[in-house]
Chain A
Amino acid sequence: MKQDLQGYWNDDGKAAVRKYVVALSLSSFCNEAVERICDSIAGITPLTHAFGRNEIGLNKQRLDSSLLKTPLNPNVDSVLVVGYEPKSTNEYIAQFKRRSKKRIESVVLLEAGTLETIHQGSKKALDLVVSSSEKKREKIDFHDLVFGLKCGGSDTTSGVASNPALGVATDYIIENGGTAIFSETTEIIGAEHILAKRASDESVAKRIYAVARANEELAMSFGVDLIGTNPTPDNIKGGITTIEEKSLGAILKSGTSRIKGVLDYEQEPPGKGLYFMDSPSAAQAVLTALAAAGCQVILFSTGTGNPVGTAVAPVVKITANPHTVLKMGEHIDIDISQVLGGKIGIKEAGMQIIDGVIEIINGKITKAEALKHREFAPLPAGL
């Protein structure tokens, strides 16, 4: 099988599969200016959000983490920051420069007003976009990449076909020196015992049980069953009856390798191999967190179909449901529905996924990117 991976080496010495230029809003006050700059200049991605004023404590920590780590993703080539007031904007830039050699430009809205901010920001963005466009692809390898793993819009085809096939692809990635992160703590409830057996040591096994238990207790502390929220109505329509059934199907996408550790929300993996990230289940938030942790590519298995993407990493949609291929085909990148017809086996489907992923790594656009699904969703604590 052809194994020629071509990517970009960014200014931080990390391999990338894209060279996005982003315009980051540090506060919701700056969203409008950021959007208008991205309308004026082609090839720049807006990162806007509802926060950035008066957050405290854990909420501030979470927001600051997303704002800093998202443009640190290797796929981001350069950054335009639009801040509200000068002190916090300068602090942000100083922090960024301590972590990265990437080009970063800024505008401060309070010093200029929205219209002047749009004007100055557009000129700076123009310069960044022209400069980034010169970068050329070079050889990279699986061991230079971190893959996020997600399933969404799950139905029973997820558990019997697309997740196991994705698991084969995950095993292949790990065997070739790559790193993968799977997440969504609610979706290990009912399957902890299977994951714990694969933990690389006792402390990892304990952490797996602990984060699942904490998640269960969090749900019950709100006075709600998970019943009614997870499985979701589309999961239920697709045939998934309980959270245990969903979880047992969901974990299959992580393959069979040892689980090296449990990461906190948006935490970068400390080494190579397979990791689990403690996180909530809302897709746009999980994808944001995986990208913030440094995932250059996210592999997304879906049953009933799901349109979501994320601003700084291509999200590859994989389905084994033939009805979804017809109904939601515009959101599907890799179709392995032949598995259910008995025409190909799980292993072969897994290698078809690898083939499709290599094409996307090398520059083939994902449906999510083409449809402008560039969700950026920093999440406050406690959800």
Chain B
Amino acid sequence: MSQSYNTSPPSVTKRYLILNKDEDNVALALEELMPGDLIQFDQSSSNIQVKQHIEFGHKFAIREIRRGDYIVKDGEIIGQATSDISPGEHVHIHNVQSLRASMLKNIRT
């Protein structure tokens, strides 16, 4: 597992963790995030604006996710989106369902 811990000064950007930069569509908040907080990925590219209150250790989207898409963390599938999710939005039980041991049907895209 390749990890990069962002340790930039907190005044510029809040701390987060992406486990697999190439494959993941979610990141973990390493501190509490508030709407409007800025997540800076690397020196060159775009920022993401946090859209909701996200607790320490919770996930937020770092790419556009469509209803039915797999949620990918550390290169592995951890569930399926039950609604569209924009970058910066909280990703958790309200918009993700498990694909295992579940009575719910798979959502088809």
Contact = CB atoms under 8 A, between A and B. Distances in A.
Interface string A52-80: 00000000000000000000000000000
Interface in A238-257: 238-239, 241-245, 248, 252
B74 interface: yes
Interface residues of B, number: 32
Given A238-B57, A244-B78, A245-B73, A342 B100 contact: no
A239 B101 contact: no
A342 B30 CA distance: 11
Given A220-B101, A248-B78, A236 B93 contact: yes
B99 interface: yes
A194 B103 CA distance: 24
B101 A216 contact: yes
Interface stretch (B1-9, B36-44, B45-53): B1-9
Nearest to A249: B74
B98 A157 contact: no
A93 interface: no
A197 interface: no
A144 interface: no
Interface residues of A, number: 32
Contacts of A340: 5, 30
A189 B59 contact: no
Nearest to B17: A160
Contacts of B7: 341-342
B93 A225 contact: no
B101 A189 contact: yes
Contacts of B98: 190, 225-227, 241-244
Given A160-B28, A242-B98, A340-B30, A225 B73 contact: no
Given A156-B57, A239-B28, A226 B102 contact: yes
Nearest to B29: A239
B91 interface: yes
B107 interface: no
Interface in B57-84: 57-59, 71, 73-74, 76-79
A24 B101 CA distance: 38
Nearest to A244: B78
A244 B77 CA distance: 8
Contact of B78 (A157, A226, A241, A342): A241
A227 B102 contact: yes
A156 B28 contact: yes
A239 B57 contact: yes
Interface string A174-201: 0000000000000001110010000000
A203 to B, nearest CB: 24
A322 B3 CA distance: 19
B99 A244 contact: yes
A242 B102 CA distance: 10
A241 B102 contact: no
Interface in B14-40: 17, 19, 28, 30
B104 A239 contact: no
B57 A244 contact: no
A381 to B, nearest CB: 20
A156 B59 contact: yes
B96 interface: yes
B58 A244 contact: no
Contacts of B56: 239, 323
B100 A244 contact: yes
Given A160-B3, A248-B76, A243 B100 contact: yes
B68 to A, nearest CB: 15
A341 B99 CA distance: 33
Contact of B79 (A241, A321, A323): A241
Interface in A191-227: 191, 194, 216, 219-220, 225-227
A313 B9 CA distance: 44
B5 A342 contact: yes
Interface of B: 1, 3, 5, 7, 17, 19, 28, 30, 55-59, 71, 73-74, 76-79, 91-93, 96-104
8 contacts: A160-B3, A226-B100, A227-B98, A241-B71, A242-B99, A243-B98, A244-B76, A321-B57
